Amino acid sequence: MSRKTWAAVDDYIVDALFEADPALDAVLATNHDQGLPAIDVSPAQGKLLSLLARMQGARTVLEIGTLGGYSTIWLARGLPADGKIVTLELDPHHARVARSNFERTGVSEPVELRVGPALESLAALSTEDAGPFDLIFIDADKPNNPHYLSWAMRLSRPGTVIVCDNVIRDGAVLDDDGHDANVEGARAAFSFIGSDKRLDGTAIQTVGAKGYDGFVIAIVD
Ligand code: SAM
């Protein structure tokens, strides 16, 4: 089974289950035109985030790693009218593109975008007594995964759902030689969730337009 087939099946999923969405398509085109890397979630994964928000009855979402806001928009669409999402991004250019995408898709109101190193933004959120968040999506620099999970615990409540993306990495998650900081970050996410008694989690391997990867998902007890 090839990546070409995985991508074709992703297209099939979108054609079969999604309504046409020119505004969301324009977001990906804008990201490309603005030179952003195509490392956003796939449409099928974005819809899953949106459905998770709805299943969770989430009113508040924290996202770490905005890029051009593609996943943020999917998450925002899963929120009720009075829902809020705080999304954290390091790169000012990514943040500018994301803001224009939020306007284009009509989600500027529920989205608060904070620019800067996420660890600083998370500390600020904690100082401001923000949260607890109902759903937390971690998708930034992978070596910081354990720190993000640690902050996620502080900004959560029993019942909060935490999703951490890109933890399978073409199966490289099995490599324990410490040579790849992103793989180390993925493994650290597993260690964190596996060893924290307050978290109950699993991971799902995925294939699709974005290749072979996966996400870990956990609930705070
Ligand atoms: N969640 C986005 C989506 O699916 O559309 C993709 C996020 S992309 C994988 C990771 C983003 O995290 C990049 O835009 C990158 O600039 C940002 N990032 C990297 N290091 C960061 C840090 N220390 N603090 C905040 N954001 C960071």
CATH number at residue 148: 3.40.50.150
In whole angstroms, give the CA distance from residue 136 to residue 195.
19
Residue 99: which domain range? 3-220
pLDDT per residue of the chain (221 residues) written in tens, 0 to 9? 789 999 999 999 999 999 999 999 999 999 999 999 999 999 999 999 999 999 999 999 999 999 999 999 999 999 999 999 999 999 999 999 999 999 999 999 999 999 999 999 999 999 999 999 999 999 999 999 999 999 999 999 999 999 999 999 999 999 999 899 999 999 999 999 999 999 999 999 999 999 999 999 999 99
- The residue among 34, 151, 158 whose CA lies nearest residue 86 is 151
Judge whether 27 and 105 are in contact, CB under 8 Å.
Answer: yes
Domain count, the chain: 1
Protein residue with its CA nearest to atom 18 in ligand 1: 140
Q: Is the CB of 70 under 6 A from ligand 1?
A: yes
Q: Which of 39, 45, 135, 166, when mutated, tests ligand 1's pocket best, judged by the most ligand atoms within 8 Å of its CB?
A: 39
Complex ipTM > 0.95:
yes
Protein residue with its CA nearest to atom 11 in ligand 1: 65
pTM metric for this prediction: 0.98
Q: Which of 28, 90, 136, 163, when mutated, tests ligand 1's pocket best, judged by the most ligand atoms within 8 Å of its CB?
A: 90
Residue 106 CA, chain-centre distance (Å), reads 19
